[in-house]
Structure 1
């Protein structure tokens, strides 16, 4: 069936990397000394309670100074250009517990934390553990290989850089709306195919009673908004399942065009996250990626980032098909990876 799609999507989320490279004043925020004092006091208060970091709620992490910025940031993520980097946190001075409390506390002002794997980890650790990127059950973020542009299973994705790599590991962002606009203008026939129920591999993390793959279309038009769900490596590996929808040559051409546009240096934004940087990205309107990297030989110096998946209140509605991944579609209480034995917690290492 041919969908009725807009000729062009116009709005702050339809940005190009070239534009954003010249406008870091709207997405790079330098924390003030007052901001940092406020954040540190909130973290010290929470840690004094002796509770699990994974239980932090907004009301447990009072930010009388910095809280107004986070309220505005939440709106910019959902309704604006969709990402921001907070810079200047002296993370090298903190214990890992203090850094985790700060990150989870700030995240609690943006949304509820969600499980990131079958083990129920609310606080994820992004680092190379030597996993094989060609293993169909491996998670790509646990390797040093180049990722591909993709989305995660959450409304908002947050990263905190604890230590950066010796070389590489740069963060890349691209607007799904801009890719849509380019494909709509040049190849509307291929664009339509990205709204088909193309299979995406679950990579071994299969909720009880579910198929080992999902059939959420890469692009979804729902309630007047474009929502993206995409991981090309997992789309390709899902073809190992005979019951998955077969990709036709036209589908492959459409996916290849999507990838080519995402990788266009004029369309995506490339940034280096410094230690202490916190990046928050609205997952439904853009895709993220990471370049391959070379790590430091000493284990204590190796690249390490915390990750949060968040579900904010006041967000957009998602189409019913997202229940295959998100479970509940309740705004503010959706997303993450939930299996039968999931127990939510925040491991520090």
Structure 2
């Protein structure tokens, strides 16, 4: 399968194709847009792309969008000087940049458009727990949107590297080496909603790991959530072939031949196409002071410009949505600080 998102870590590690540096002209443009928002936009939840005008930096973001949708599938935008701004201003800038790439959608049952990736002392052993609230290593996975963004507010004391792998490259390797297991990965898997259950739906859903739709490959990998779905008595037990297939996907994602590790500096933003990139994070050590803990801001974005969703995706998402978590009675909102 030929796809520009078919890459391997060692091949792209030293490439600058996926790194976009914010320069002084971009910063001036961003700050002008921020000033426009502060004068004219009373509620960031309803902010539109036109209300965050980027006459200079917008051109760079168009290149970012092309790379996400029709290129490698990931980028790193470096150099946003976040120490100049309040937390509210950082939120406005980040949301404004995101609006030039897609539409922000809620990331949890609380309706949060901004997610806080920070250690709250939680553990993935809790079946209703989200992994980003712990400091544990995360298994390679995807999220419920088209594009995932991570903005670094504070780095960890040690560890916490972001690791990526091309789902297309992994798919093609399995196709060449274990086509029998590839058939298992194209079959539906049961995935736990972990307590975030839209009205009228079950606490789990089904989704193949690999889907080929309208001529393009898509991936959906939630190994932790798939494993916790086994707690429901009506969900079929894993077969030996399923366990072997999942292990193979994860083994290849971790393999140095495929994975790409990167570290975030303060003010760096990583964006990735959720349909072709598997992402993970290594375990990390925090500073003892609460205000110095590793802290990333996450965006989930949907975009009509990327790969068309399969019927499996549209059945998974809320009606009329390409992604996000929508629960009855919960309106989208912005939490400036972790809650």
TM-score with structure 2 setting the length: 0.97
Matched residue of 1:130: which SS? coil
Paired residues of 2:21 and 2:78 also in contact (CA < 8 A): yes
Pick aligned residue for 1:95 from 63, 74, 86 = 86
Q: CA RMSD in A?
A: 1.1
Residues paired across the two proteins, number? 337
Paired residues of 1:83 and 1:279 also in contact (CA < 8 A): yes
Matched residue of 1:54: which SS? helix
Work out the CA distance in 2 between the residues paired with 1:221 and 1:245.
Answer: 24
Deviations 1:149-203 (A, max 9, x none): 1000000001110001101111111100000011011100011101111101111
1:204 aligns with 2:204: no
Paired residues of 2:309 and 2:322 also in contact (CA < 8 A): no
Superposition deviation, residue 128 in structure 1:
0.8
Matched residue of 2:153: which SS? strand
Pick aligned residue for 1:12 from 4, 23, 35 = 4
1:157 aligns with 2:145: no
Deviations 1:37-70 (A, max 9, x none): 1111111220222522222211000011111111
Flag structure 2 segments of 5+ consecutive residues without an equivalent. Answer: none
Work out the CA distance in 2 between the residues paired with 1:302 and 1:140.
Answer: 16
1:347 aligns with 2:335: yes
Paired residues of 1:198 and 1:245 also in contact (CA < 8 A): no
Paired residues of 2:74 and 2:277 also in contact (CA < 8 A): no
TM-score with structure 1 setting the length: 0.94
Work out the CA distance in 1 between the residues paired with 2:45 and 2:157.
Answer: 30
After TM superposition, the runs of 4+ consecutive aligned structure 1 residues lying more than 3 A away are none
Work out the CA distance in 2 between the residues paired with 1:22 and 1:73.
Answer: 18
Flag structure 1 segments of 5+ consecutive residues without an equivalent. Answer: 1-8
1:283 aligns with 2:283: no
Paired residues of 2:73 and 2:273 also in contact (CA < 8 A): yes
User: For residues 1-349 of structure 1, what are the structure 2 equivalents within 5 Å?
Assistant: 9-23=1-15, 25-328=16-319, 333-349=321-337
Superposition deviation, residue 107 in structure 1:
0.2
